[in-house]
């Protein structure tokens, strides 16, 4: 089976539909037209650039180039987490915690999968390493961003309740208990929904891509199951770790709530 080739005209028609959607959204005064067009333009430019980079990586397999690409992806993911929050920790704390949590969870799961499950030769083969890490980082980024945003907003809105609990003798973990649980739940719900709907409501992107490229459906299904499980583990651990570290940063050494450590972000 030969993969159907797409022309620039085909892509232009799809882009025109996005522009039409933006026009309709503007007429409906939804205030999403500008972000929609900017995001679409960014997506096209970013994917075009990464296509050139991946072609170079595939042609020159080297651990240091793969590591450099992975670190760039990690830094950009950490920046996106910070940019998506209405409020964040002051200074570099929010970026550092988000990036560190994603590094520990996504990178460890990716390396384990490459060595123990995929067993590529070499294990850092970019054809496997970069797409796998990209999927893990993207989903972990979403979970961490949702969890942090809900945690900080919850702490801000319920600061009087939390301080009252502290005055009654509760520790910071107990005082933040309901807020932390709700924020972690918010970060993990998209993962649960994605797995529950897979194959019934939607065909996941990787599986669809493999089938379009001519892979047997049964083989595509096995790879997609593996990816879903790895994404769930990496994103889940990253969300839990980031949530714990951010919650602890909201309190000082005497377990006092420090909302002065938060700054409000300007709208993007």
pLDDT bracket for residue 133 (50, 70, 90): very high
pLDDT bracket for residue 23 (50, 70, 90): very high
pTM of the model: 0.81
pLDDT surpasses 50 at 268: no
The whole-number average pLDDT for the span 31-55 is 91
pLDDT surpasses 70 at 126: yes
- Which range, of 59-68, 212-221, 259-268, averages the lowest pLDDT? 259-268
Q: Where are the domains of the chain?
A: 1-60, 63-264
Over the stretch 212-230, which tens digit does the pLDDT of each residue have?
777 788 888 888 888 889 9
Q: 89, 73, 86, 44: which is closest to 250 by C-alpha?
A: 89
Mean pLDDT across the chain: 88
In angstroms, the Cα distances linking 101 to 77, 240, 245 are 11, 9, 9
């Amino acid at each position: 089976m030969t993969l159907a080739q797409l022309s620039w005209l085909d892509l232009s028609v799809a882009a025109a539909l996005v522009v039409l959607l933006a026009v309709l959204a503007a007429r409906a005064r939804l205030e999403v037209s500008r972000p929609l067009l900017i995001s679409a333009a960014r997506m096209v430019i970013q994917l075009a650039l990464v296509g050139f980079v991946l072609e170079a990586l595939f042609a020159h397999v080297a651990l240091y180039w793969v590591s450099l690409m992975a670190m760039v992806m990690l830094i950009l993911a950490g920046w996106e987490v910070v940019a998506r929050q209405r409020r964040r920790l002051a200074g570099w704390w929010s970026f550092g915690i988000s990036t560190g949590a994603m590094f520990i969870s996504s990178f460890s799961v990716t390396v384990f999968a490459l060595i123990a499950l995929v067993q590529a030769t070499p294990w850092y083969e970019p054809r496997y390493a970069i797409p796998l890490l990209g999927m893990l980082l993207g989903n972990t980024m979403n979970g961490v961003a949702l969890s942090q945003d809900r945690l900080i907003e919850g702490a801000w809105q319920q600061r009087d309740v939390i301080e009252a609990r502290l005055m009654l003798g509760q520790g910071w973990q107990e005082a933040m208990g309901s807020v932390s649980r709700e924020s972690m739940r918010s970060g993990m719900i998209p993962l649960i929904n994605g797995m529950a709907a897979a194959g019934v409501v939607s065909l996941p992107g990787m599986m669809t891509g493999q089938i379009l490229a001519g892979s047997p459906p049964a083989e595509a299904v096995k790879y997609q199951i593996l990816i879903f499980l790895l994404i769930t583990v990496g994103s889940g651990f990253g969300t839990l770790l980031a949530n714990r570290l951010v919650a602890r940063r909201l309190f000082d050494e005497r377990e006092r709530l420090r909302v002065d450590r938060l700054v409000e972000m300007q709208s993007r």
